[in-house]
Amino acid sequence: MRLVSLILRNAARSRARVAFTLGSVVVAFLLLGLMLPVLRVFDSRVDFADANRLMVLNKASMMRPLPISYGDRIAELDNVSDVGHFTYFGASYRDPGNEIPAIVTNPAKFPDLVDEVAFRNEGTLSDWQSDPSSIAVGRELADEYGWQEGDLVPLYSSIYTRSDGNPVWTFRVGTIFDGATEDSVTNSVVIPYGFFNTERSRGKDTVGWYAVRIDDANAAETTGEAIDAVFENSPNETATTTERAFAKSFLNQIGDFKTMIGAALILVFWTLVLITANAQMQSIRERFGDFAVMRILGFRKRRIAGMILSESLLMMFAGGVIGMAVAAVAVAIVAANGEALLALLKLDWRDWAIGAGLMAGTGLVVAAVPATLAARQKITDGLAEAL
Amino acid sequence: MTLHDPEIALKATEQTDAAPLVVIDRVSRAYRKGKVAVPVLERHAMTIAAGEMLALVGASGCGKTTLLNLIGGADRPDAGEITVGETRITSLSDGALTDWRGRNVGFIFQFYNLLPALSARANVELPLLIHDLRAAERRARVDNALNLVGLEDRADHRPEEMSGGQQQRVAIARALVTDADLLLCDEPTGDLDQDSATRIMELLSLLNEEFGKTIVVVTHDPNVAAYAARTVRLTRPEAV
The DSSP symbol for A200 reads B
Residues A112 and A190 in one domain: yes
Contact list, A301 vs chain B (CB under 8 Å): 94-95, 98
Alpha helices in chain A (DSSP H): 3-11, 15-48, 70-75, 110-113, 122-130, 139-145, 193-199, 220-230, 243-253, 257-286, 288-296, 301-337, 349-376, 379-386
pLDDT in tens, B46-99: 999 999 999 999 998 889 999 999 999 999 999 999 999 999 999 999 999 999
The separation between the first and the last C-alpha atoms of chain A, rounded to the nearest angstrom, is 26
This complex has an ipTM of 0.86
The DSSP symbol for B221 reads -
Distance (Å, whole) CA B53 – CA B51: 7
| pLDDT for the residue numbered A218 | 77
Q: Record the pTM.
A: 0.66
Put simply, the answer to whether B99 touches A289 (Cβ < 8 Å) is: no
Contact list, B174 vs chain A (CB under 8 Å): 297
How many domains, in total, are found in chain A? 2
The answer to whether A128 touches A107, Cβ cutoff 8 Å, is yes
CATH classification for the domain delimited by B51-74+105-233, as one of 3.40.190.10, 1.25.40.10, 3.30.1330.10, 3.40.50.300:
3.40.50.300
Domain locations along chain B? 51-74+105-233
Put simply, the answer to whether A379 touches B74 (Cβ < 8 Å) is: yes
Distance (Å, whole) CA B34 – CA A331: 60
Residues A94 and A29 in one domain: no
Residue B219 pLDDT exceeds 90: yes
Residues A215 and A70 in one domain: yes
Residues A206 and A172 in one domain: yes
| pLDDT for the residue numbered A35 | 86
DSSP B50-75: TT-EEEEEESTTSSHHHHHHHHTTSS
Put simply, the answer to whether A293 touches B102 (Cβ < 8 Å) is: no
Q: Search chain B and give the residue with CA nearest A376.
A: B94
Residues A71 and A96 in one domain: yes
User: Could you tell me the CA-to-CA distances from B94 to A303, A346, B83, B136 in Å, in that order?
Assistant: 13, 52, 16, 31
Put simply, the answer to whether A13 touches B95 (Cβ < 8 Å) is: no
| pLDDT for the residue numbered A104 | 95
pLDDT in tens, A320-363: 999 999 999 999 988 887 665 666 788 889 899 999 999 999 89
Phi, psi of B41, deg, nearest 5: -130, 140
pLDDT in tens, B26-44: 999 998 888 888 889 999 9
| pLDDT for the residue numbered A252 | 60
Residues A205 and A254 in one domain: no
The answer to whether B228 touches B53, Cβ cutoff 8 Å, is yes
Domain boundary among A236, A268, A302: A236
Identify the band that residue B11 occupies on the pLDDT scale cut at 50, 70 and 90.
Answer: very low
Largest Cα–Cα distance in chain B? 54
The answer to whether A160 touches A203, Cβ cutoff 8 Å, is yes
Identify the band that residue A14 occupies on the pLDDT scale cut at 50, 70 and 90.
Answer: confident
